Structure 1
Amino acid sequence: MTAKKYRKTETIEAEQFDEAKWQEKYRACHNPDQWEALAHPYGIDRYRGHFIIVTLEGDLILHDGDWIATGINGEHWPIADDIFRKTYVEAEK
């Protein structure tokens, strides 16, 4: 069997996760509904002191500097900064 090379063809949206910024947002929320409305569009939640992202494969811990990617179907997943920078380039507008 001969392996072939493939490249990704879809365009994603991504935002770098800033833990300090999200800590401030979390502290500013006065109830769980307010937090859910703020964090849900990014797939972010908080569990046992960690920020997590709910993915199709399960919950993953977000680390400061990770990128939150949003796929073509609205799904979210984290990408470590070094992997993101090796894999993606900013799309032309």
Structure 2
Amino acid sequence: MLHKYKKIALIEAEQYRGTVKQQRKYGILRIQKSLLIAPKDYLITIEGKMIVKIGDYIATGIDGEHWAIDQDIFERTYKRVD
């Protein structure tokens, strides 16, 4: 039988704007594989490299880990509490 679960841990998150300050804060790598292709930003997570786009949210978990969440998914899933 399936059961429903609700997260009880709070996270901190901020919307990614692609600033140098955010890149340094989260250790984001900007990689451009070709002059013909726009560079992509990568967030290093405990599960490996993850593409982060302008507008995505970068979440910080209870153990200090970071991950990116698509803006649409974040806004449908999380509610600001402060």
Q: TM-score, normalised by structure 2?
A: 0.80
Residues 37-84 of structure 1: CA deviation (Å, up to 9, x unaligned): x73432422223221101111101111100000111110000001100
| RMSD, aligned CA | 1.8
Could you tell me which residue of structure 1 aligns to residue 6 of structure 2? 7
Could you tell me which residue of structure 1 aligns to residue 77 of structure 2? 87
For structure 1, which runs of at least 5 residues remain unmatched after alignment? 26-34
Q: Larger radius of gyration, structure 1 or 2?
A: 1
For structure 2, which runs of at least 5 residues remain unmatched after alignment? 33-38
Relative to total residues, which structure has the larger helix share, 1 or 2? 1
Q: TM-score, normalised by structure 1?
A: 0.72
Aligned residue pairs: how many? Answer: 76
Q: Determine helix, strand or coil for the equivalent of 1:82.
A: helix
Identity of aligned residues (%): 43
